[in-house]
């Protein structure tokens, strides 16, 4: 019995060693009756042992008041008035479902993200959220909405955009979300955009815009190069091989041939 008594005292000392000083709740917060009930539970120690699994923390309350936090292993607490809350403290991957929002240009888009987080203070997490994990998802949606409206879907002048700057914007999501959950005892490790597209009602129109923009840029490159090639041809032929009045006609024909979509059909002038 003496040996068992010392084992119980040793296991109960985990209360002091398992939490930081600002988390320890003194027994003075409990009434005399509550304290007596708690210690009376030690008369039946066989009912007071329990196991805390790996990557879990057990937040213990007596009569609705926080008492201590126990980490993984064989633990002991008086069973009278005890309420145990097991909180997972491993890294968690949470997917924020696709939501429809407006980008900087007012275009409706569909966006979703993955949040990688970890509970670093199980006591604060339970006391502030009551173990409601859905609040993290709601705050994730709010962070995505707040940041996404600051950027266009596609960059037009080299500025940051949702499509081309996912890593940078993901970091902004992380900072924004951390502000909302900082008091919950949660650390946000990473936020990644996993789904990004135009909303269905404008998808076809925006695809046509993208195709027209790409065609225009390709045409500009072709024409710029065609002009340079014509300039080189005229300079190489020189005034000895080509008449000045024929330069404009030659340049026009060469540009039409090089910039046109169809294959050129040569025409030989037999009048000369």
The predicted-structure confidence for 204-227, as pLDDT tens digits, reads as follows 666 766 777 777 777 778 777 777
Residue 152's alpha-carbon distances to 109, 111, 197, 201, in angstroms, are 10, 13, 12, 18
pLDDT of residue 173: 92
**Please, which pLDDT band fits residue 75 given cuts at 50, 70 and 90?**
confident
Average predicted confidence (pLDDT) for the chain = 76
3-state SS string for 47-108: HCEEEECCCEEEEEEECCEEEEEECCEEEECCCCCEEEEEEECCCEEEEEEEEEEECCCCCE
pLDDT of residue 15: 45
Residue 119's alpha-carbon distances to 107, 125, 129, 232, in angstroms, are 36, 7, 12, 68
- Please indicate whether residue 151 or residue 19 has the higher confidence score (pLDDT): 151
Of 22, 181, 36, 51, whose CA–CA distance to 115 is shortest? 181
**Please, which pLDDT band fits residue 101 given cuts at 50, 70 and 90?**
confident
- Please indicate whether residue 25 or residue 69 has the higher confidence score (pLDDT): 69
pLDDT of residue 74: 81
The predicted-structure confidence for 154-183, as pLDDT tens digits, reads as follows 877 778 888 888 888 899 999 999 998 988
Lowest mean pLDDT among 20-29, 43-52, 208-217: 20-29
- Please indicate whether residue 46 or residue 140 has the higher confidence score (pLDDT): 140
The predicted-structure confidence for 247-270, as pLDDT tens digits, reads as follows 677 777 776 766 666 666 666 555
Of 272, 267, 230, 269, whose CA–CA distance to 248 is shortest? 230
User: Within 13 Å of residue 104, how many CA atoms lie on the same side as its CB?
Assistant: 13
d(CA 225, CA 242): 22
């Amino acid at each position: 019995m003496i040996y068992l008594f010392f084992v119980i005292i040793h296991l109960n000392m985990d209360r002091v060693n398992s939490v930081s000083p600002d988390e320890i709740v003194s027994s003075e917060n409990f009434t005399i009756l509550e304290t007596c009930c708690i210690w009376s539970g030690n008369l039946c120690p066989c009912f007071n042992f329990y196991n805390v699994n790996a990557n879990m923390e057990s937040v213990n309350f007596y009569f609705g008041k926080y008492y201590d936090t126990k980490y993984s292993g064989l633990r002991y607490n008086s069973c009278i008035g005890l309420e145990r809350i097991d909180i997972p403290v491993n890294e968690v991957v949470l997917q924020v479902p696709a939501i429809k929002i407006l980008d900087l240009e007012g275009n409706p888009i569909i966006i979703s993200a993955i949040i990688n987080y970890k509970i670093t203070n199980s006591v604060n997490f339970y006391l502030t959220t009551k173990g409601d994990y859905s609040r993290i998802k709601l705050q994730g949606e709010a962070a995505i909405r707040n940041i996404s409206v600051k950027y266009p879907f596609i960059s037009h002048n080299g500025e940051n955009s949702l499509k081309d700057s996912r890593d940078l914007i993901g970091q902004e999501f992380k900072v924004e979300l951390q502000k909302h959950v900082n008091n919950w005892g949660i650390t946000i490790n990473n936020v990644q955009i996993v789904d990004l597209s135009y909303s269905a009602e404008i998808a076809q129109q925006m695809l046509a815009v993208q195709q027209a923009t790409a065609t225009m840029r390709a045409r500009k490159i072709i024409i710029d190069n065609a002009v340079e090639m014509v300039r080189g041809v005229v300079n190489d032929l020189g005034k000895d091989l080509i008449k000045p009045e024929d330069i404009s006609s030659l340049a026009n024909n060469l540009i039409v041939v090089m910039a046109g979509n169809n294959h050129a059909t040569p025409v030989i002038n037999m009048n000369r």
